[in-house]
Amino acid sequence: MKRLKPTDVVIVGSGFAGLVMAKEIASRTALNVAVLERGPARSLEKYVEEMDEIDILRVGLGQNPAEQTITLRNTNKQTAVPLRLLALFHPGTGTGGASEAWAGFGERFLPEQMVLATHLREKFGAKRIPPDWTIRDWGITYDEFEDYYWRAEEMMGVSGKAGNLNGKLIPGGNIFEGPRKHEFPNPPLTPTYTMGFWYKAALALGYHPYPMPTAIASQNYTNPYGVSRPGCFYSGFCINHGCKTGAKAMPTSVLMPALENEKNFVLRNNSWVRKIVHRDGHAEGVVYMDENGEETMQPADLVVVAAFTPDSVRLLYLSGIGDPYDPNTGDGTLGMNLTHQVNGGGGGMLVFDEPLNLFMTTSSLSYGVSDFDGDLPEDVPEGVLRGGQFTGGAVQDYLPVMSFGRIPPGAAPRNWGSEWKKAAISYWDRIGPGVGMSMDTYPYRQNYMDLDPTYTDKWGDPLLRFTMEYTDYEQRQFAYAARMSAQFTQKIAEVSKAKLISTGPGGNGGGFRHYDGVRYKTTHIQGGAIMGASPDQSALNTWLQHWKTPNLFVVGSNALPQNAAGHPTTTIVALAYRAADGVIDHYLKRPGLIG
């Protein structure tokens, strides 16, 4: 095995979490930082040449499942099966990871997310909380976290409008959000034509719509690292694509230009980490396959794991770090609290007479409605404890391959032939965006990650196995979202004069009994190595420091004990800033567990 010269800090993964850690450590200390990234380098110049659907459809910026996938089973009585295509979420690879191809939604979580276990117990009493939920408090509160949110928003240049500035509610913003100390760094994006109807309908229903915070800059913006980028051009090649102007905050557009000037920073692409080497509760470095396929040891004083959540969790398993979770006894913490965000919809299809120019858009351009997010104003027939967040009004993308042939049910006898072609041409660009609601998604005792006993990746290392199933509670969430979405969609039809055509349950789970590995849901996979206040309840402390290996930090959505209705990226970036402070302000001054 090749053995490299030791470095001070080695970071696994170059997504937002890894590169925020790298940037903070490299610029605030004199330590040498090496980032190991499994995939190739990415660049805005290359993204221009990827304004196309076919290559993105085949593999795009995602991980190639031929190299590594996950296996899935619904219960631990079953034998897991490999997902031969990675359709249900989109793990990224290459510089920037999944944060290159993301949509860009930039909202914060509600304050009670950080103390959810306590909050629900106080509100409902222990009896109404399903007994198999393993919800946890984070161990820190929103107030302690607010400044980290702001640092994330400032770095990414989030566009939006504040609805709660220091406790003062501001109409037009999200008045249900936690208090923020600053207005957003950039004003909201320009709304599309269809968003006007969504907004009007929301107002007509007495809701409080607001421009969704988005990490897509609405104007020229320079972040605190001195990195400048232009405002959005609305070209519509955004989600699943890299942004060719960098208007969408991506590690390559908001962090790499600053990192490239740091002399104590190096990024090594095509470097696949297979193991963290450790002894007696101390990490000694990582072993990886370098760009030539040579097994290489990189010794380091501090190890940061910041890969995509399932990959970070798998690396801990492969390295034998932490106690594997046992769903039967509840012992162990590694792999627990696997969640994958649910969302629901199903109000029907809105067919317009006029053309909508849906291809003029960007991926997270939308309005939000949070009147039902978090605590519900009143009990609902479906019996869910909390509601969800409506997001919509515009489509995320509308490109010709994916959109041609999207027609109302019954508009053609089959999905090919002359009649279908005629309908496909006629309905193209006339079916408006529907209504969907994303919801809190709770961890269960029986849902977890561990290593698969049979299937392996291209190096022969075991794949990660998901054991995951919907319960009656998620079905009630889908039903709730379907009912609420139907009401909203009906109102949009009224204010827009669009024809409403019924389509049945929508969203990522509505109408399906089992959690499946086929249909895309979100890329919001969370848990596996969660944060918390005590080592018997969590793998990490609130600084994302590993309880049993203090010179190891595991940074990413692996740390989130439960899945909030909101999109998680701003929260992940904020957690990375806090972990960086943990390293720089605490750990380096007094190596050991931060107490």
Closest CB to another protein among 149 and 428? 428
Which of 135, 59, 32 is closest to 445 using CA atoms? 135
Nearer to another protein, 166 or 418 (CB): 418
Establish whether 524 is a catalytic residue: yes
Of 79, 259, 226, residue with least CA distance to 157? 226
Q: For residues 49 and 260, which CB has a smaller minimum distance to another protein in the complex?
A: 49
Q: Under 8 Å CB-to-CB from 311, ≥6 apart: which residues?
A: 13, 91, 464
Q: Which two tokens stand for residue 30?
A: 């004199």
For residue 294, the minimal CB distance to another protein (Å) is 17
In whole angstroms, what is the distance from residue 2 CA to residue 83 CA? 34
Q: Are strands 7-12 and 295-305 parallel, antiparallel or unpaired?
A: parallel
Question: 164 or 219, CB closer to another protein?
Answer: 219
Buried b (16+ CB within 10 A) or exposed e, 338-369: bbbbbbbbbbbbbbbeeebebbbbbbbbbbbb
The CB-of-418 to another protein minimum distance in angstroms stands at: 5
Distance of alpha carbon 247 from alpha carbon 526, whole angstroms: 27
Q: How far is the CB of 495 from another protein (least distance, A)?
A: 13
Cβ proximity to another protein, 139 vs 432, nearer residue: 432
- Report in angstroms how near the CB of residue 311 gets to another protein at its nearest: 15
Q: Specify the DSSP class assigned to residue 115.
A: G
103 contact partners, CB below 8 Å, separation of at least 6: 238, 239, 363, 364, 396, 567
Residues 6 or more apart whose CB falls under 8 angstroms from that of 262 comprise 23, 26, 27, 33
> Which CB atom, from 133 or from 470, has the smaller least distance to another protein?
470
Positions that interact with another protein (CB under 8 A): 48-49, 51-55, 57-59, 64-69, 72, 74, 79, 81-85, 87, 190, 192-193, 196, 233-237, 244, 354-357, 359-360, 400-401, 404-405, 414-418, 421-422, 425, 428-429, 454-456, 458, 514, 516-518
Catalytic residue chosen out of the listed positions 208, 524, 546, 567: 524
At its nearest, how many Å lie between another protein and the CB of residue 197? 10
CA distance 48 to 457: 32
Q: How far lies 545's CA from each of 298, 313, 443, 551, 588, in Å?
A: 20, 14, 21, 7, 13
**Residue 553 β-bridge partners:** 304, 545
Q: In angstroms, give the least distance from the CB of 338 to another protein.
A: 17
The residues carrying an active-site annotation are: 524
